[in-house]
């Protein structure tokens, strides 16, 4: 099969927002009798590829689930390896982000990240904030329930203080208080590694996303497979509850 080219895609059907649950690093390493951390290292190479392909195809928002609120419960050694990989990734990609006008953004409880990771993140987010190309969202210490609970608390406080009436709490108001405020909801969600669950990822925002599960482990996820999924996505009939004319 010849590799898919940018011209194989219908430009009017490129998803505005793609969200990915990057899963399977540990199993990739285990299969090779390596430490799980090796799988995370290899997985960060896949991140580079997927960022590049997304940008080349004109996807405006790419959201990557990198660390969940539940992932804090992993062994200390693995958590700290993930944190240092993250910091390394942020610094090493900075020049590429500037070159390609990518804006870095974080979704989640960034105040819970170790100080050095948080400051790397804040620094690069600040430096890239005026970039007008793709927005790269890293979901870090992210949990959808935590995000929704935070929004509910904030809105309840506003009602209590009389700045807002409870009947003014609409779907749009809720959306505008989530970490993804101002962004379109994901059109497409991909999860690698064969698990068929959401694992506390963007539950509100994924309401109408097209979902693809692939058995491929994240470190093996390739440009070709990603493009095949995007092509499949373009052939899906998105009805949004309506009937065809
Ligand atoms: C995904 O890979 C990366 C993170 C959750 C940080 P895993 O580490 O979950 O890999 P598996 O699922 O154990 O194979
Ligand atoms: C989801 O993967 C979180 C990330 C990819 C960052 P997990 O491996 O943590 O999720 P479960 O345990 O399979 O639900
Ligand atoms: Mg996993």
Residue closest by Cα to atom 3 of ligand 1: 23
pLDDT in tens, 131-185: 999 999 999 999 999 999 999 999 999 999 999 999 999 999 999 999 999 999 9
CA of 26 to the centre of ligand 3 (A): 7
Residue closest by Cα to atom 2 of ligand 2: 23
pLDDT at 59: 98
CA of 142 to the centre of ligand 3 (A): 15
pLDDT of 1 over the 70 cut: no
Residue closest by Cα to atom 8 of ligand 2: 23
- Cα distance between residue 220 and residue 147, in whole Å: 30
CA of 24 to the centre of ligand 1 (A): 5
pLDDT in tens, 204-230: 999 999 999 999 999 999 999 999 999
Q: How far is residue 126 from each of residues 104, 106, 208, measured CA to CA in Å?
A: 8, 11, 31
- Cα distance between residue 233 and residue 235, in whole Å: 5
CATH number for the domain formed by residue range(s) 13-143+185-234: 3.40.1180.10
* Ligand nearest to the CA of residue 86, numbered in listed order: 1
Q: Is the CB of 113 under 6 A from ligand 2?
A: no
Average pLDDT score over residue span 98-109: 98
Q: How far is residue 46 from each of residues 24, 43, 53, 136, 165, measured CA to CA in Å?
A: 12, 5, 11, 14, 46
Average pLDDT, the chain: 97
Domain extent listing, the chain: 13-143+185-234
* Ligand nearest to the CA of residue 139, numbered in listed order: 2
Mind giving me the DSSP string for the chain?
-PPP-GGGS-GGG--SEEEEE---HHHHHHHTT--HHHHHHHHHHHHHHHHHHHHHHT-SEEEEEEEESGGGGS-HHHHHHHHHHHHHHHHHHHHHHHHTTPEEEEES-GGGS-HHHHHHHHHHHHHTTT--S-EEEEEEEE-HHHHHHHHHHHHHHHHHTTSS-GGG--HHHHHTTSTTTTSPPPSEEEE-TT----TTSSTTTTTT-EEEE--S-GGG--HHHHHHHHHHHHTS---TT----
pTM of the model: 0.98
């Amino acid at each position: 099969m010849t590799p898919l080219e940018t011209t194989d895609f219908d430009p009017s059907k490129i998803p505005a927002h793609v969200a990915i649950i990057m899963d399977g690093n540990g199993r990739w390493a285990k299969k090779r009798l390596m430490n799980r951390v090796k799988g995370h290292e290899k997985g960060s190479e896949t991140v580079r590829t997927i960022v590049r392909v997304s940008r080349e195809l004109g996807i405006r928002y790419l959201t990557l689930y990198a660390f969940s609120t539940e992932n804090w419960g992993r062994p200390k050694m693995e958590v700290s390896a993930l944190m240092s990989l993250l910091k390394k990734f942020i610094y090493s990609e900075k020049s590429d982000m500037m070159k390609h006008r990518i804006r870095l953004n974080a979704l989640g409880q960034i105040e819970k990240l170790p100080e050095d990771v948080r400051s790397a993140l804040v620094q690069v987010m600040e430096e890239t904030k005026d970039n007008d190309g793709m927005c790269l969202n890293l979901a870090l210490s992210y949990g959808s329930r935590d995000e929704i609970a935070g929004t509910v608390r904030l809105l309840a406080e506003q009602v209590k203080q009389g700045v807002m009436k409870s009947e003014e709490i609409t779907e749009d108001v809720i959306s505008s208080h989530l970490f993804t405020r101002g962004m379109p909801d994901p059109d497409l969600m991909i999860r690698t590694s064969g698990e068929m669950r959401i694992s506390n990822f963007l539950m509100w925002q994924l309401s109408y996303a097209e979902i693809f599960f692939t058995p491929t482990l994240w470190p093996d996820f390739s440009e070709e497979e990603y493009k095949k999924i995007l092509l499949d996505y373009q052939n899906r009939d998105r009805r949004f509850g309506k009937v065809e004319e």
